[in-house]
Amino acid sequence: MTIGQQAGLASAFERAPERRRSIEYSLNGHATARHQPQARRRASMGAVKASPEPAEAITMEASTPSPDPEPVPSRPSPRSYDSRKSATYARSVSRTLSWGGARLDENQLQERAMRITGTHMDELMDGLSQGQPAPQTSLQNAILALQETFLIFRLAVLLYSYLGLGTRWMGKLIRLIVYSVLLLPGFIQMGIFYFLSPRVTRSLVYGLAARNRLDLYRPPSKYKRPPEGYKVVIYITGGAWTIGYKAWGSLLGRRLSKAKVLVYCLDYRNFPQGTMLDMMRDVNTGIRWILHHTHFHGGDPNQVYLVGQSCGAQLAAMALITQAEQSYQKAQLPGGFPAWQPQRVRAMVGISGVYNCFDLADHFNRRGLYRKLFDNIMSVNGQPNLKLFSPTYCIKGVEWGKSLPPVLLLHGTSDTCALVSNATQFSQALEEAGAQVELKYYDGETHTSPLIENPMRGGHDKLVDDILACVFGHNDLSPWQMPLCPGFLINIAAWICPF
């Protein structure tokens, strides 16, 4: 190198002191970390001090990571699972994992917005979030519990400000309370199972945001774990985007896990704690965490199935469709952070799902989910975008529909909440896009009867039978269950149910 070249290089470093310090720090730290074990071994053998590696090798080490996901690690024994390591990994998910270097392409965002909504959306963004590690000490946990108590009160007041003194939602709230009281014998039994059963692990942390928790339902210990691990179901509960909670999946989780399936039930932020983009981010974070961690729990990471009910079916469909389009475009899209590989999901099952928010908005308004509230739930930067969060519209006119895994839609013909017509529309849109889809109607079933009333009656469960047929590929009857509640109370509750 000539003296002029050396002077030019020194001048460049003087003009960028922060860059110089960052490079020196990263190179020194990288080399030290890589050669410290070798230096100790050579020192113990009387060897000379190790020389640094070439700069080219260090540059390759510091390059942009490859897209999600990394190769599935070898399966350890479930007993080797370390909860502290898992919590540390969970805290790093939202900070360090992204689309693997892909950019947020403004042109593709505009093309997607034009295709789905018919209008340009100049401010449609889904920025990456940063967070702080979860509290570890008992005092910090107690403070967090107190903060969440005040937060729930504040959110309840905010939600009330949207609902006002409307007679529709007040009537539905009263009916919901009566419905819960009538089914209380069954709910008590499920509460005992949920809190006391060794098969249930509650509130595993999967992310940094509020309510980033999940429940894990394991098969009974009498079953021998398959060599490749149990098949895995990721279940996303419903709750009208406002009252959802992971414990609502205990009935389904109990029955599926009894049939040798490992079940994860995701919790996510509800409105007004978050809008649809926040809910989708939580769901994506949870799915990605499960794909990277299920082998620790005895699950097979190559046999993962996605199941959602009501608005949970909408979230599952939106997450799957967005990830498929994001993978095809190789660019980050709104609602697609953090990214995960949709090919890792073997199939999706939607139960009583909401797939067309645009067409159902007026219907929901008449039933007490007022348009003002619904528009705020489905908003981006304060502007409602119902088509953007409607799977039926998001799948129309796409070129990558065949890349989606098989989709099974289960819907009751007497569902007065999420009308069966919106499931038919979604099924047709999937078929037109080239996806493999099956729509199965439940004659005379309502929005909640396949999930709550029918399992309370005991015996075999038609819904669980269909999910197991999708998971295992053959039709077998679900395990027989004792009734959880007297039949006459279930009949009255079904008549009073507000959904």
Contact partners, residue 415, CB within 8 Å, separation at least 6: 352, 445, 446, 447
Cα–Cα dist 479/494, whole Å: 24
Task: Name the active-site residue from 126, 415, 461, 466.
Answer: 415
Options 267, 447, 449, 461, the catalytic residue: 447
Give, rounded to a whole angstrom, the gap between the first and last alpha carbons of the chain: 77
- Residue 35 a catalytic site member: no
* Placement of tokens 């071994």 in the chain: 41
Decide if 221 contacts 258 (C-beta within 8 A). no
Cβ within 8 Å of residue 460, ≥6 positions away: 477, 478, 480, 481
Whether omega for the bond prior to residue 69 falls within 30 degrees of 0, making it cis, is: yes
Sheet holding 230-236, edge to edge: 200-205, 213-217, 261-266, 230-236, 299-309, 345-351, 407-412, 437-442
Inter-CA distances, 321 with 372, 407, 423, 487, Å: 27, 11, 16, 40
Could you write out the DSSP letters of every residue in 155-208? HHHHHHHHHTT-HHHHHHHHHHHHHHHHTHHHHHHHHHHHHH-TTEEEEEE--S
Phi, psi of 314 (to 5 degrees): -65, -45
> Exactly one of 310, 352, 390, 449 is catalytic; which is it?
310
CA distances (Å), 187 to each of 296, 301, 309, 448, 459, in order?
A: 31, 32, 19, 15, 17
Annotation says 447 is catalytic: yes
Is there a catalytic annotation at residue 465? no
Catalytic residues: 310, 415, 447
